[in-house]
Amino acid sequence: MTALDLSSPVAVVGTGTMGQGIAQVALVAGHPVRLYDAAPGRARQAADAIGARLDRLVEKERLTADERDAARARLRPVDELTGLAGCALVVEAVLERLDVKQELFRALEDVVPDDCLLATNTSSLSVTAIGGALRAPGRFVGLHFFNPAPLLPLVEVVSGFATDVTSATRAYETARAWGKTPVACADTPGFIVNRVARPFYAEAFAVYESQGADPATVDAVLRESGGFRMGPFELTDLIGQDVNESVTHSVWRSFFQDVRFTPSLAQRRLVESGRLGRKTGHGWYDHGEGAERPEPHTAEPAEPPAYVVAEGDLGPASELLALIREAGIEVREEDEDNGTRLVLPGGGQLVLADGQTSVEFRDVVYFDLALDYRGATRIALSHARNTSPATVAEATGLFQALGKKVSVIGDVPGMIVARTVARIIDLAVDAVAKGVATEEDVDTAMRLGVNYPLGPLEWSRRLGSGWACSVLDNLHQCDQSGRYAPSLALYRHAYASDRREGTS
Ligand SMILES: NC(=O)c1ccc[n+]([C@@H]2O[C@H](COP(=O)([O-])OP(=O)(O)OC[C@H]3O[C@@H](n4cnc5c(N)ncnc54)[C@H](O)[C@@H]3O)[C@@H](O)[C@H]2O)c1
């Protein structure tokens, strides 16, 4: 099955933000494109807006003037749905309402030829439910573009329950021919990206709700230690708190209120207060004229220890030993079966966040997971009430000597990066096990759809496949709500890799 022929007309119905972007993509790829919108005059306005964007592409020398003129000549707004007769593909990007989309596709079935591919750009509705209204749902597929469609490469090609393999393949190949990176996925709440990404927001909000750290500190730790391009608080201010919350609600409801997707009370209050983010001038942060961005909590300079004793294998944090030596601090290595930690000269211990609370331990400081300890510019530390100030100072001085800023946060099990990454890995592994998409497609979707520094499966391989399961097991012991209970798939993932590594 090949992509649609470039001479085949493509229709875009609903010419708002997404419709215009998708139309531009199909147009620049070389198709004749027709635009239809229910609001009178809107399709014509959209054609003008697309024309203006093509002009900008010419100015940026990404399109020649001849190519722009030819593209403009291929673009045609129509006033009636019947103007879409003869199209080979219709991509719908209208209001996000099931009844509106179903009614539209029912009407389209009477207009377009029998072999016309019908696609929805819905981000939260069930593709199966929209297609369920059709006489011939086999040709109906989800084509989920990301905003802005001309710039973002990812397209989730969603097969509903009744979608024919040939239709899904044709949609996939067509997206690829348009220069996009398609990923194939089953019709599940949130598809790949919006399903697997939920903990990125939820865990940050949970840390904030438990008074573990303020938004600026959580954002800084996830950026500077986790390697994420933006933190969840600043990102949701950009997306719009109402939009982000509505995706969370939709995924949670669609999973029959699965506790792993429970929305955040703090975000609910923010939305109720009308603080929707940049668009209202205030969200988690104040975006008003001249407003100053709060600084993340950063510890004052402290004396580094003269040496550390490294006991056992530090696992994902092993790289630290080389960094400590490079900073001129002696590392005394001791084999130890009884745990893995750095012991400080004063007797205090530094332990990588493992999902446990430090309440039960004496004189322990936890440090958070980093994507790459060498590249990280900030490290979060947490400790119990009974940890001595001298131990916290030694731990702070140690990371500062490695050139890192230090943020001391509250005693939050799993800290910030570790709990977030562990939960993302769990949802990714679970999605693969449930046939939502392949490992490769899940990784591609998360890197391209939300700019994650690594795909979750790749991340899990780097951390050791049992790492996420063990962190979540510990978090589950602290929390007991089920939110952190590792999926069966994650247990299998951990066990299978243990077997491969021959550790029993
Ligand atoms: N905005 C995003 O970031 C984004 C990203 C991915 C997917 N989506 C999905 O894309 C779709 C469109 O979103 P948008 O942000 O472009 O919305 P939008 O409000 O910018 O545009 C929707 C357009 O559809 C038109 N419309 C409404 N009902 C119609 C009908 N029955 N027939 C024809 N036209 C109709 C409206 O007049 C409007 O021009 C939604 O399903 C949304 O979930 C949005």
The CA 146 to ligand 1 mean position distance, Å, reads: 12
* pLDDT value for 337: 62
**2 CB neighbour count, 10 Å cutoff:** 9
262 and 208 both lie in a single domain: yes
The CA 242 to ligand 1 mean position distance, Å, reads: 16
Confirm if 320 and 314 have CB atoms less than 8 A apart.
Answer: yes
84 and 116 both lie in a single domain: yes
Average confidence (pLDDT) over 20-45? 98
- 361, pLDDT greater than 80: no
The residues pairing with 332 across neighbouring beta strands, listed in sequence order, are 309
The CA 90 to ligand 1 mean position distance, Å, reads: 14
* pLDDT value for 20: 98
Pick the closest to residue 471 from 355, 302, 363 (CA basis): 355
Q: Is 144 a catalytic residue?
A: yes
- Residue 472 covered by a domain: no
Average confidence (pLDDT) over 256-271? 97
- The residue to mutate among 18, 20, 50, having the most atoms of ligand 1 within 8 angstroms of its beta carbon, is 18
The domain of 336 spans: 307-409
Phi, psi (5° rounding) for residue 272?
Answer: -60, -35
- Residue 469 covered by a domain: no
Average confidence (pLDDT) over 93-100? 96
224 and 180 both lie in a single domain: no
* pLDDT value for 319: 94
Q: Is 383 a catalytic residue?
A: no
Edge-to-edge strand order for the sheet containing 117-120? 75-77, 33-36, 10-13, 89-92, 117-120, 140-145, 154-159, 181-186
CA distance 83 to 111: 8
The CA 14 to ligand 1 mean position distance, Å, reads: 6
Pick the closest to residue 378 from 229, 226, 235, 230 (CA basis): 226
The CATH number of the domain holding residue 345 is: 3.30.750.190
Pick the closest to residue 379 from 224, 210, 218, 204 (CA basis): 224
Q: Which two tokens stand for residue 262?
A: 């429970």
**Closest ligand 1 atom to Cα of 39:** 37
Domain finish residue from 139, 166, 187: 187
Tell me how many domains the chain contains: 3
- DSSP state string for 152-200: --EEEEEE-TT--HHHHHHHHHHHHHTT-EEEEEES-TTTTHHHHTHHH
Lowest mean pLDDT among 198-207, 248-257, 326-335, 434-443: 326-335
Which residue's structure tokens are 């029998």?
114
The CATH number of the domain holding residue 181 is: 3.40.50.720
Domain finish residue from 187, 215, 249: 187
* pLDDT value for 397: 98
- Residue 5 covered by a domain: no
**Closest ligand 1 atom to Cα of 95:** 27
Q: Of 31, 92, 144, 234, which is the active-site residue?
A: 144
* Tens-digit pLDDT profile for residues 421-455: 999 999 999 999 999 999 999 999 999 999 999 99
* pLDDT value for 504: 39
Long-range CB contacts for residues 345-351, cutoff 8 Å, separation at least 24: 345/305, 345/306, 345/307, 345/308, 345/394, 346/305, 346/388, 346/390, 346/391, 346/394, 347/391, 348/387, 348/388, 348/390, 348/391, 348/392, 348/394, 348/395, 349/391, 350/308, 350/395, 350/398
Average confidence (pLDDT) over 88-93? 98
**Closest ligand 1 atom to Cα of 100:** 31
* Tens-digit pLDDT profile for residues 146-162: 999 999 999 999 999 99
Q: Of 123, 124, 407, 487, which is the active-site residue?
A: 123
Lowest mean pLDDT among 11-25, 100-114, 146-160, 360-374: 360-374
38 and 163 both lie in a single domain: yes
- 68, pLDDT greater than 50: yes
The CA 241 to ligand 1 mean position distance, Å, reads: 18
109 and 156 both lie in a single domain: yes
- Residue 476 covered by a domain: no
* Tens-digit pLDDT profile for residues 471-498: 999 999 999 999 999 999 999 988 876 5
Strands, E, within 262-343: which ranges?
307-311, 330-334, 341-343
CB within 8 Å of 63: residues ≥ 6 apart: 28, 54, 57, 71
How much is the mean pLDDT over the chain? 95
- Residue 201 covered by a domain: yes
* Tens-digit pLDDT profile for residues 274-288: 999 999 999 999 999
The residues lining ligand 1, judged by C-beta closer than 6 Å to any ligand atom, are: 13-19, 37-39, 42, 93-96, 100, 104, 121-123, 145, 147
Residue of 504 and 272 predicted with greater confidence: 272
* pLDDT value for 503: 44
Lowest mean pLDDT among 161-170, 187-196, 227-236, 491-500: 491-500
Band of residue 185 on the pLDDT scale cut at 50, 70, 90: very high
* Tens-digit pLDDT profile for residues 382-393: 998 889 999 999
